Amino acid sequence: MRQRPRGDSRGILAPDRMLRQVRFRRHLPAELLRPWIEHYWFVDWELTEPFAQHVVPHPAVNLVFRRDGDDPACGEVAGVGLALFSITLTGVGRVSGVQFRPGGFHPFWHGSVAELTGHRRPLADLAERWPPAREPTGDTCDGTDADRCRRLDALLTGGAPQAGADPVTEEVIRLVEEIRTDRTVLRVDAFARRHGLTTRRLQRLFLERVGVGPKWVIRRYRIQEVIEQATGGPPPDWARLAADLGYSDQAHLVREFSAVTGTSPAAYARSLA
């Protein structure tokens, strides 16, 4: 089990620019919650002019609490985002977020996670489906990071499943993690055979428990790898990177990257200079 939160910026476009404008950090949840929750993420800002941020979403559900100025905090469940997520921040505000592991929200939701895909649902609308939505959440953005972590732990621990109680979901979480970390995973049919599953069975499992199909997950992690490579230093050899990630050629990489981010990989890399 991971002992510290991820330190990469995968999916965040122009992360250095973001860190000059807002305070962003990640924390691990209580140990009981770590099989299903990737990390908590906090963003605080105090801006003199609007700031726009763009993110290529992970194949994960997020629980998000946001407070602008002196307004009360409001909460929502954000299903897997299919498109580029863009937000403009103004004035003073705070966000306390929970990123579930891909597949990790399913035991809390007790239904198909695909119902949430592409949607952001206010907690007030989910009280009948998700018990934590009935709890008071007004202070989730208050206090120190430790205070915020404790409140999120308390909110989620009561509805947490027992480890080993849902072996199918735990298998799906492992499968998605393998796709994320193993760059040789390029085809759904080959990946299904590797794990003794039919392609159809793998697709059903991912749709129900992750919210998107395995092909989408593979493509999304490839795009995030391209973003990471473009962000980490001198621009890579795009043709070689395209071959390493299983694109048919460099033009294929450019088309997919542009469709998701709205710009080409080379133009994105130049924008960071």
Lookup: tokens for 160: 């947490």
Q: How high is the pLDDT of residue 137?
A: 67
Percent of the chain with pLDDT over 70: 97
Lookup: tokens for 156: 């989620």
Tens-place pLDDT, residues 197-214: 999 999 999 999 999 999
Amino acid at 72: P
Q: What is the pTM of this model?
A: 0.94
pLDDT band for position 97 (50/70/90)? very high
* Ramachandran angles phi, psi of 199, nearest 5°: -60, -40
Helix axis angle for 167-181 and 214-231, nearest 10°, is 40
Shortest CA distance to 136 belongs to which of 110, 154, 161?
154
Q: How high is the pLDDT of residue 194?
A: 97
Tens-place pLDDT, residues 120-177: 999 888 888 777 777 766 689 999 999 999 999 999 987 777 766 789 999 999 999 9
Q: How high is the pLDDT of residue 235?
A: 83
Reply yes or no on whether the pLDDT at 5 is more than 80: yes
Q: Coil, strand or helix: which one is 254?
A: helix
Q: How high is the pLDDT of residue 124?
A: 85
Q: Which residues of 229-257 are buried (b: 16+ CB within 10 A; e: fewer)?
A: bbbeeebbebeebbebbbbeebeebbebb
Q: Where are the beta strands (DSSP E) in the chain?
A: 23-27, 37-46, 51-55, 62-68, 74-78, 85-89, 92-100, 120-122
Mean pLDDT (whole number) for 67-94: 95
- The Cα 75–Cα 46 span in angstroms is 20
Lookup: tokens for 191: 């990946």
Q: How high is the pLDDT of residue 136?
A: 67
Shortest CA distance to 170 belongs to which of 132, 63, 178, 129?
178
Q: How high is the pLDDT of residue 22?
A: 98
Residue pointed to by tokens 């790898």: 225
Mean pLDDT (whole number) for 89-118: 95
**Quick count: other Cβ atoms within 10 Å of Cβ 4?**
9
Tens-place pLDDT, residues 10-63: 899 999 999 999 999 999 999 999 999 999 999 999 999 999 999 999 999 999
Reply yes or no on whether the pLDDT at 233 is more than 90: no
